[in-house]
A and B are shown apart, each in its own frame.
Chain A
Amino acid sequence: MIDALWGWPPPVLDPAGPYADKVTTLAWALFGMGVVVTAIVCAALWLAVRGSPRMKALIGGERTIWIGGIAFPGVVLLGLLVWGLTLTASLTQPIRGDEMRIRITGEMWWFRVQYLNADGDIVMEDANELHLPVGVPVVLELEGADVIHSFWVPHLSGKKDMIPGRRTLLRVQADRPGEFGGLCAEYCGSQHALMGFVAIAHKESDWQTWFDDRTTRVARTEMLAETAPPDAMPYPGDAAAYPMELGTLERYDARRGMRLFMESGCAACHRIAGTEANGLAGPDLTHVGSRRSLGAGILPNNRGTMMGWIGDSQSIKPGNRMPSYDVLSAEDIGHIAAFLELQK
């Protein structure tokens, strides 16, 4: 199973950025208020039932209602309200417009992530992962492609809905490097439960390196140049063509995987920059090999899980939009997985 990116300590109480930080303070204050008021009510109940006659006489009148039911809550609620409104205002400062922008689209049941340049053009596409530089405020443009989803990375900020026909804006900022789990919070159909996400905060310089690398490099197809055309490939059948000293994994030929990818229907829904695979329905696979997880945060990303996902995604995540490629042989799927593994 993939690494737990949330759990204990509760991410709501373990903030990693300014937009979650202040809410954590508020949350602790609210819990304190809850405990104190519950204690007061329970104590008052106890005294009302079991108290001395004097105590009961003290409580048993309209004055109790005026103090306990009107004045006290009035003051507490007024204070909380002012705090809440001030905090809301500080968390929703107007967006200047020159912030870094990333568009995230909720789809059934994964997140499309598109990095935008200053003009708002898409320069790079990814899925289910958000890489962001530490200490830099990032504006997320949230959209819903089909139904309403909700974007939530509790370490970084509260949630915001992704609504078809609208573009909602959410500001996030990470103050420390790390990986922060996220998920869809609005019920969006059968696989809502398995719609995960990860935000990865890098040091700013590291992020820039990563980003430049991502945007300049396209598909890992360089190995094609040094080999014969795909149809001349020897495997399967001719195991002898492979030197025995290679480990089992290398027996799967990425070159053949690429051909299968293009010809078996994968390319109709998935794009790999620099190849003829141009499908837009599913996640962009240009860098799939470097993703932390498969299936929107539910499987670790390795050859085995990739093979399992390609061959039988419907039993891993029933109802998802990708058919199980059980018509392909295990060998074929292994080749495709080998090819995809290289797409870092």
Chain B
Amino acid sequence: MADRYHSHDRLIYRTMLLAFAIWGGHFILAYGAALVFPGTATANGIALIAACLAVVAIGILAFRLPRPRPTIAFGSLGLSLAAIVFGTLPAVVG
């Protein structure tokens, strides 16, 4: 009955939720800025700054993971990062 518990379980699920919460935070900031300052460089700037902060936060979370990195936590960070990159493009492209 070995390996019944990961001692890192709590960290893994917390990281998973935080990863997507960061995506949510970025989405709210970027879209909120576009609502409040429609069609301006300010809105795009806020989105970009939020994206930088989000990437840093994800980096920190990734750094704090035990090695080898657990799939769920690391995968969530990766997926969240991809979604944030996608979600920053509207402020950059066009």
Contact call A82/B89, Cβ cutoff below 8 A: yes
Give Cα A86 to B85, complex, Å: 16
Shortest Cβ distance from residue B82 to the other chain A in the assembled complex, whole angstroms: 6
Asked if A74 is at the interface (CB within 8 A of a chain B CB), the reply is: yes
CA distance A78 to B81 in the complex (A): 13
A88 close to B86 (CB less than 8 A): no
Interface residues of A, count at CB 8 A: 11
Asked if B93 CB lies within 8 Å of chain A CBs, one says yes
Binary contact readout A61-95 vs B (1 if CB under 8 angstroms, 0 otherwise): 00000000010001001100110011011100000
B94 contacts A by Cβ under 8 Å: yes
Indicate if the CB atoms of B93 and A86 lie closer than 8 Å: yes
B59 within 8 A of A: no
Q: B70 an interface residue at 8 Å Cβ cutoff? A: no
Shortest beta-carbon distance from B34 to chain A in Å:
13
Establish whether residues B86 and A81, one from each chain, have CB atoms under 8 Å apart when the complex forms.
yes
Asked if A81 contacts B94 (CB within 8 A), the reply is no
Chain B residues with Cβ below 8 Å from A70 are 78
| Interface range for B | under 10
B90 on the interface (CB 8 Å rule)? yes
Name which residue of chain B comes closest to A87, CB basis. Answer: B94
- Residues A85 and B89 in contact, CB atoms below 8 Å apart: yes
* Least CB distance, A63 to chain B, in whole angstroms: 13
A160 vs B91: C-alpha distance when bound (angstroms) = 23
What is the distance, in angstroms, from B61's C-beta to the closest C-beta of chain A? 19
Interface of B is mostly: helix
| Partner of A85 from B78, B82, B94 at Cβ < 8 Å | B94
Instruction: Map CB proximity to A onto B56-89 as digits: 1 under 8 Å, 0 otherwise.
Output: 0000000000000000000000100010011001
The residues of A that contact B78 with a CB separation of less than 8 Å are 70
Task: Scan residues 4-20 of chain A and give those whose CB is less than 8 A from a CB of chain B.
Answer: none
Kindly provide the distance from the CB of B66 to the nearest chain A CB, expressed in whole angstroms. Answer: 20
Task: Give the complex CA separation of A82 and B88 in angstroms.
Answer: 11
CB distance from B86 to the nearest CB of A (A): 6
B90: chain A residues at CB < 8 Å are 85
Q: Which residue of B lies closest to A83 (CB)?
A: B93
B89–A81 contact, CB under 8 A?
A: yes
When distances are taken between beta carbons in the complex, the residues of chain A under 8 Å from B89 are: 81-82, 85
Partner of B82, one of A74, A82, A89: A74
Check B94–A86 contact: CB distance below 8 A.
Answer: yes
Contacts of B94 in A (CB 8 A): 85-86, 88-90
Cβ proximity bits A122-158 to B, threshold 8 Å, 1 near / 0 not: 0000000000000000000000000000000000000
- How long is the Cα–Cα vector from A86 to B92 in the complex, in angstroms? 10
Q: Which residues of A contact B (CB under 8 A)?
A: 70, 74, 77-78, 81-82, 85-86, 88-90
Q: In the complex, given contacts A78-B86, A81-B89, what are 10 additional A-B residue pairs having Cβ atoms less than 8 angstroms apart?
A: A70-B78, A77-B86, A81-B86, A82-B89, A85-B89, A85-B90, A85-B93, A85-B94, A89-B94, A90-B94
A sample of 12 inter-chain contacts (CB < 8 A) reads A70-B78, A74-B82, A81-B86, A81-B89, A82-B89, A82-B93, A85-B93, A85-B94, A86-B94, A89-B93, A89-B94, A90-B94
